[in-house]
C-alpha cells in the first residue's frame, strides 16, 4: 500500500492527523528505494516504524502540537470516557506485554494494528481535540490510539538510561539496536587526537536517536528522571524524551565506550577548585564599539582578560598539589571542577594530563574556558571524560575524550552588579548596561551518562537563569546531576542561583550544584555592601536540602572536596508506571589545602 485515504486533498478547514504525521515523517515509514538507491517519490506511511524512538517521536509530536494532554485522564477509569483520553487497566497490561515482546524479540504485530488504526482509520480526523469534543459527531479515538502508541514505544525503549533487571538485560535486543544508532560519527578509539594534546576530540553523536523523524521538526533522546509534578508529556514518559528541533538546541546523549560503572554503593567525590583566586578590576575591559557613536550609548561591551593565567604554570602546580591533598582524604577521587571562565584550552589540556597521570581512575573534569580545543574564543565549558577500552585487557589503557560547547546567553552587567563587584573604575556605571562579548552560534547541550543510572549536564551562568532555550529540554531528559559554572558572588540560599536550582530540583528531580570563583566572591566581600561570605558553591536536591559549600579559611589557593552518595528512588509516570532511578545526595565537604 502506497497511499491512504488520508492522503486525498484536504477540503476541511482544519489540519488533519495525517497531515501532521507527514510533517514529522516526511519520507514515510518505509521509503521505497529505487534501483539506483535513491528514495522513491512514493513513500508509504501505513507500515509501523522499526524503532520505538521513531514511533514515540511521531505520536509525541502529534500529542504536543494538538494539546491532547488537556484531555488526558491518568486514572484507568473515568466518569466521562467519551470526553477524555485514558487507558484502562486491561489495556495497560496488554501494552506492557506487547512492549516486552517488541523489545526482546522484534514481535510488533499488535502495535502494527495500532499504527494502522492511527494512519488509516483516523488519518483524516481533526488534529485538535477541542474541535472534536465540541462536535457531536466527533470522537477523541485518534488521541487514545496515539496515547497507547506513545506508552508502548516508551516501554519498548527501557534500558537506555538505566539498567534493566538482570533477567531482562541480556534479552534487550532493542536497547542494543538503539545504542548502535547513537554512535558518534567515528567509533570511540578511532577519534582524532587534538593537535598538540593527548586528548581525543569526541565526534558528535546524532541529535536524535531516530532514523525516520525529521530532526528539523523534533528530536528524541533517552531520559533519566521523571517529573513527579504536572500533567505534561514529560511526566508521561519514563525512557524517552521529546526535544525541539536540532536547529533550536543541538542536543547529544553520550556515554563511555566500555561497560558503565555501577552506581551502587559508589560515592562521587568531586574536587572543586574555585579559580581564579584573585580577579583584578582591570580584568574587565571595555570593548570599543565599531564605527562612530554619537551621543550617550545605552550599552557597552566588555571582555575578560585572564590575568590569573599569566603564570599558568602556577595554577597547574596548585592543581596538582590539591589533587594530591584530596587523594589523602578519599579512596576514590572521581571528578575535578573549575568555575566559569577559569581556564583556557592550553591550561585545561595540561591540567587534564597532569590529573590523569596522578589518578588514572578519574571519571571526568569540567571547566569554564575562554577558548575551546579548536582555538575559538568565547565563553565555553570544556568536559573531558575517561573511557576504558571496549576490549579491555591487562595492557590496554583508558583514553580521554574532550568536548566543548558555548554559553547560550551573554552576561549583562548593570550598575548594581558593577557596584557589587567593585568594578566602577573599569566599567562606567553611568552606561545603562554592559554586555559580555561572546558569539553564541547554535546552542548545544551534552548529556553525559557516566555510570549505569547517572547522567550529568553542565550549564554556564545565564544558562541557569534564563529558561530559554534549555530548561524545558533539561526537564524532559531529567539528568540526575546539573552542574552550573558561574562567575558570580557568594552562593547563598536567597540569591538567584538557588532559586533557579530549586526549579530543576523540583521538576524533574535533578540534584543541582552551582559553583563560582573565590576571586569574585572576595571582590563582593571587599565591597562592604553585604555580610562577608565564603560560600563558593551551593547544593540543592529534590528533598529540599540546601548546602552551602565554603572556601577554606585564608586568602590563598585552596579547594573543597565534596562527597556525594547515591540513593535509589522510585519515579512514577503520570499513568502509574514505576521505574527505579538514582538520586545523588550531599554527604559532606572537606577543605583541601595545597
User: φ and ψ at 367, to 5 degrees?
Assistant: -155, 145
Report CA-CA distances (Å) from 462 to 177, 358, 409: 37, 34, 6
Question: In the predicted model, is pLDDT for residue 289 greater than 80?
Answer: no
Q: d(Cα 378, Cα 346) in Å, to the nearest integer?
A: 14
The sign one gets for the Cα dihedral 417, 419, 420, 423 is positive
What pLDDT sits at residue 195?
A: 81
Q: What is the DSSP letter of 120?
A: I
Nearest to 505 by CA among 143, 225, 164: 225
Estimate the share of the chain in helix, then strand, then coil, as percent rounded to the nearest 5: 30, 25, 45
Query: How far does Cα 432 stand from its chain's mean position?
Result: 34
Average pLDDT for 88-113: 92
| Res 3: pLDDT | 46
Q: Which three cell numbers stand for residue 375?
A: 582555538
Q: At what angle do helices 312-327 and 345-358 cross, to 10 degrees?
A: 30
pLDDT value for 10: 43
- Ordered by where they begin, the domains of the chain are 5-156 (no CATH), 268-289+313-592 (3.60.110.10)
Residue range 66-75, pLDDT digits in tens: 999 999 999 8
Among candidate residues 187, 170, 65, the one with its CA nearest the CA of residue 127: 65
pLDDT grade for 201, boundaries at 50, 70 and 90? confident
pTM comes to 0.94
What's the pLDDT tens digit per position in 456-505?
A: 999 999 999 999 999 999 999 999 999 999 999 999 999 999 999 999 99
Q: 130 pLDDT band (50/70/90 cuts)?
A: confident
Regarding predicted confidence, which is higher, 139 or 51?
51
Cα–Cα distance, 146 to 71 (Å, whole number): 13
Query: For residue 509, is it left (φ>0), alpha (ψ between -120 and 50) or beta?
Result: left
Alpha-carbon span 232 to 150, nearest angstrom:
13
- Residue 105 region by backbone torsions, left for phi larger than 0, else alpha for psi between -120 and 50, else beta: alpha
pLDDT at res. 295: 52
SS3 63: helix
What is the torsion angle, in degrees rounded to the nearest 10, for the CA atoms of residue 283, residue 408, residue 471 and residue 565? -50
d(CA 258, CA 249): 28
Among the listed ranges 59-63, 78-82, 405-409, 545-549, which one has the minimum average pLDDT value? 78-82
Q: Note the pLDDT of residue 9.
A: 39
What's the pLDDT score for residue 591? 98
What are the b/e assignments for 340-368, b being 16+ CB within 10 Å?
bbbbbbebbbbbbbebbeebeebbbbbbb
Cβ(362)–Cβ(336) below 8 Å: yes
More confident residue, 170 or 342: 342
Between 119-128, 191-200, 293-302, 467-476, the lowest mean confidence (pLDDT) is in 293-302
Residue 162 has what DSSP assignment? S
Tell me which of 15-19, 34-38, 125-129 is least confident: 34-38
Instruction: Give me the pLDDT at residue 5, please.
Output: 40
The mean pLDDT of the chain is: 90
Q: Which residues in 19-45 are b (16+ Cβ under 10 Å) and which e?
A: ebbbbbbeebbbbeeeeeeeeeeebbb
Q: Are 498 and 492 in contact (CB under 8 A)?
A: yes
Give 427's contacts (C-beta < 8 A, 6+ positions apart). 284, 286, 300, 302, 413, 418, 434
Averaged over 556-582, what is the pLDDT?
A: 95
Return the pLDDT at 1. 39
Amino acid at each position: 500500500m502506497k497511499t491512504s485515504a488520508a492522503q486525498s486533498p484536504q477540503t476541511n478547514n482544519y489540519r488533519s492527523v495525517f497531515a501532521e504525521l507527514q510533517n514529522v515523517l516526511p519520507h514515510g515509514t518505509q521509503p521505497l528505494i529505487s534501483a539506483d538507491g535513491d528514495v522513491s517519490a512514493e513513500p508509504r506511511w501505513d507500515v509501523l516504524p522499526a524503532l520505538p524512538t521513531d514511533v514515540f517521536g511521531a505520536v509525541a509530536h502529534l500529542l504536543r502540537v494538538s494539546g491532547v494532554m488537556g484531555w488526558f485522564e491518568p486514572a484507568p477509569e473515568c466518569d466521562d470516557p467519551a470526553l477524555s483520553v485514558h487507558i484502562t487497566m486491561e489495556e495497560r497490561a496488554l501494552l506492557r506485554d506487547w512492549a516486552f515482546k517488541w523489545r526482546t524479540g522484534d514481535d510488533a504485530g499488535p502495535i502494527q494494528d495500532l499504527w494502522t488504526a492511527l494512519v488509516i482509520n483516523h488519518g483524516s480526523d481533526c488534529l485538535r481535540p477541542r474541535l472534536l469534543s465540541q462536535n457531536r459527531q466527533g470522537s477523541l479515538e485518534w488521541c487514545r490510539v496515539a496515547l497507547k502508541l506513545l506508552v508502548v514505544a516508551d516501554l519498548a525503549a527501557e534500558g537506555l538510561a538505566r539498567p534493566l533487571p538482570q533477567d531482562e538485560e541480556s534479552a534487550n535486543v532493542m536497547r542494543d539496536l538503539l545504542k548502535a544508532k547513537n554512535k558518534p560519527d567515528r567509533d570511540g578509539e578511532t577519534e582524532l587526537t587534538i593537535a598538540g594534546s593527548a586528548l581525543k576530540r569526541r565526534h558528535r553523536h546524532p541529535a536524535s536517536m531516530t532514523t525516520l523523524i525529521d530532526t528539523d521538526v523534533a528530536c528524541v533522546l533517552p531520559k533519566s528522571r521523571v517529573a513527579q509534578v504536572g500533567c505534561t508529556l514529560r511526566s508521561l514518559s519514563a525512557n524517552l524524551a521529546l526535544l525541539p528541533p536540532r536547529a533550536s538546541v543541538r542536543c547529544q546523549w553520550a556515554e563511555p565506550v566500555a561497560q558503565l560503572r555501577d552506581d551502587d554503593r559508589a560515592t562521587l567525590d568531586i574536587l572543586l577548585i574555585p579559580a581564579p583566586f584573585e580577579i583584578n578590576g582591570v580584568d574587565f575591559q571595555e570593548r570599543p564599539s565599531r564605527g562612530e557613536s554619537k551621543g550617550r550609548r545605552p550599552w557597552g561591551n566588555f571582555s575578560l582578560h585572564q590575568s590569573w593565567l599569566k603564570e599558568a604554570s602556577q595554577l597547574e602546580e596548585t592543581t596538582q598539589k590539591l589533587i594530591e591533598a584530596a587523594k589523602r582524604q578519599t579512596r576514590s577521587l572521581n571528578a575535578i571542577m573549575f568555575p566559569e571562565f577559569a581556564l583556557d584550552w592550553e591550561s585545561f589540556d595540561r591540567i587534564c594530563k597532569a590529573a590523569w597521570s596522578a589518578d588514572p581512575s578519574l571519571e571526568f573534569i569540567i571547566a569554564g574556558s575562554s577558548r575551546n580545543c579548536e582555538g575559538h574564543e568565547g565563553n565555553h565549558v570544556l568536559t573531558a571524560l575517561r573511557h576504558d577500552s571496549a576490549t579491555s585487557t591487562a595492557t590496554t589503557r583508558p583514553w580521554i575524550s574532550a568536548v566543548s560547547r558555548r554559553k547560550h546567553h551573554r552576561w549583562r552587567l548593570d550598575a548594581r552588579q558593577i557596584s557589587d563587584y567593585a568594578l566602577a573604575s573599569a566599567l562606567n556605571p553611568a552606561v545603562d548596561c554592559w554586555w559580555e562579548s561572546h558569539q553564541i552560534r547554535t546552542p548545544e547541550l551534552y548529556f553525559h551518562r557516566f555510570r549505569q543510572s547517572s547522567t550529568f549536564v553542565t550549564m554556564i551562568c545565564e544558562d541557569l537563569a534564563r529558561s530559554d532555550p534549555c530548561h524545558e529540554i533539561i526537564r524532559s531528559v531529567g539528568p540526575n546531576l546539573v552542574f552550573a559554572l558561574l562567575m558570580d558572588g557568594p552562593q547563598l540560599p536567597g540569591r538567584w542561583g538557588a532559586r533557579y536550582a530549586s526549579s530543576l530540583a523540583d521538576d524533574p528531580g535533578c540534584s543541582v550544584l552551582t559553583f563560582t570563583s573565590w576571586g569574585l566572591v572576595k571582590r563582593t566581600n571587599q565591597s562592604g555592601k553585604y555580610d562577608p561570605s565564603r560560600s563558593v558553591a551551593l547544593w540543592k536536591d529534590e528533598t529540599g536540602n540546601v548546602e552551602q559549600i565554603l572556601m577554606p579559611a585564608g586568602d590563598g589557593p585552596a579547594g573543597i572536596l565534596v562527597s556525594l552518595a547515591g540513593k535509589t528512588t522510585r519515579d512514577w509516570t503520570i499513568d502509574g508506571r514505576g521505574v527505579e532511578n538514582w538520586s545523588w545526595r550531599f554527604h559532606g565537604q572537606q577543605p583541601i589545602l595545597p
